[in-house]
Amino acid sequence: MAETPEANGASPSSSTENGATSSSSTANGLSDAEQLKNEANQTFKDKHFTKAVDLYTQAIELTPGNAILYANRAAAHVRLENYGSALADATSAIDKDPKYIKGYYRRADANLGLGKVRNALNDFRRAAKEHPRDPDLRKKLEQCEREVKRLRFKEALATPNEVPVAQQIDLSSMPVEDSYDGPRMEGSEEEGYRLTRDFITAMMEHFRRQKTIHKRFAFQIILEATELLRKSPSLVDVAIPAQGGFTVCGDVHGQFYDLLHIFELNGLPSEENPYLFNGDFVDRGSFSVEVILTLMAWRVLLPKHMHMARGNHESKGMNKIYGFEGEVKAKYNATMAELFREAFCWLPLAHCLNGKVLVLHGGLFSRDGVTLDDLRAIDRCREPPEEGLMCELLWSDPQAQDGRSPSKRGVGVAFGPDVTQRFLEANGLQLLIRSHEVKEEGYEVEHNGYCITVFSAPNYCDQMGNKGAFIRFKGADMAPNFTTYPASPHPNVRPMAYASSFMGGIFGG
């Protein structure tokens, strides 16, 4: 019930905004709105969610008292991960019709998307009061209650000075059995193992065949990558020689076979072919373990030529909702999931290329005057906060109009061309590169050419139909050059296959 838009009928509040009897013009408006709603519903089913939002908006303009339209538009916003807009629409649906159950469903979905499980539970409880016999609602309510109890139990057990998981792992307790038929690092149990280029390429081919590497090697990759990340600053300055090149990739989101395609198109990482992957390596796609181990392995082998920045999905809350935590536990164990959480907290937040191009995952800030030194000073080793510079650089998005607006996501801000220009001028920069948003062509140039979005997960979640892209720079001029590509075939494993049935049912493809 919670996953599809309302197809027929009208809510009790959908006659006219002031309750007057219908006239000829009102009847025409209702008829047009119903037609737009039906078209929007079909567009939603076809997974064209941005177009569905536009059509629902047109219908709302004709019949602003219709709770169904707001709830349906909220459902489309949830699929687009615009949780702030979804919360606003769901609240409007409830205001129009307090007994309309899907209004509470949609608001709960939006709160779950933001990791606010307790708020979602409140909405499920309110809906249950209105519809106590609805079986699907009772199931959702029970699942949400169990999740809140689990969170409370874990919080009660937490101690303020826990020993990091990385310090508790003993690699010598993980012998590589003779029966293991996957790639092996150079060395031995007695002498220790060493990561090599041959191992990484063999590991990638092993992953391509849907096999996992031995946990001994997987843990070593994460531990060595974590140690390197710990030594990195929050803002990394990258020097690109005049004759050298540099590639920036956006979100990959667990789409391992598309990552392989990037390397086929642009070459494997090397000293002559450096990369920056700009966050959101995991979640959504169900090959996130393969993606993150591959990137971390290259990071260990090429510490000065493979760079990784944190995205908003490199966080515990997002990983629990969108599948990565479940995937790690299914392919390895809970200890590794905790180790990844620690590693993500050490990821740098931004990179400055040749002092000219700033690359960060989300966007700019809720106030002017932020400097690169402010970014360098961020204490990043923590879960992302709900406000402040760290939150905003992970979550914010550009907007077409000048100034700032509340974020459609419910976190961060929307910032205009004037904000971008002032920030770049104040910091002596010429370009802002960010990711974080699906783009039809894989990239989009905005803000008079000063802000570029790059997104590297084509046909995102197997449903968006977008291309992927990466950006190639030459050190001599630092002008962006774009490569786009379609989605690559992958095994028949759906997005978010490892998310819980509760979360996956709401946010799955």
- Active-site positions read 313
Contact (CB, 8 A) for 96 and 16: no
Gap between the Cα atoms of 476 and 354, Å rounded:
10
Gap between the Cα atoms of 87 and 109, Å rounded:
9
Cα–Cα distances in angstroms (integers) from residue 364 to residues 58, 111, 312, 401, in the given order:
31, 24, 14, 15
Cα–Cα distances in angstroms (integers) from residue 352 to residues 95, 308, 425, in the given order:
46, 13, 15
Q: Which token pair is 326?
A: 């479940």
Pairing of the two strands 413-415 and 397-398? parallel
By CB neighbour count within 10 A (0-12 exposed, 13-18 middle, 19+ buried), where does 411 fall?
Answer: buried
- List all residues 6 or more positions away from 150 whose beta carbon is below 8 Å from its beta carbon: none
Contact (CB, 8 A) for 278 and 393: no
Please name the residue that has the structure tokens 């190639």: 472
For 312, the 3-state DSSP assignment is coil
Cα–Cα distances in angstroms (integers) from residue 275 to residues 36, 262, 442, 471, in the given order:
45, 11, 17, 10
Q: Which token pair is 83?
A: 């949780």
3-state SS of 449-467 is HCEEEEECCCCHHHCCCCC
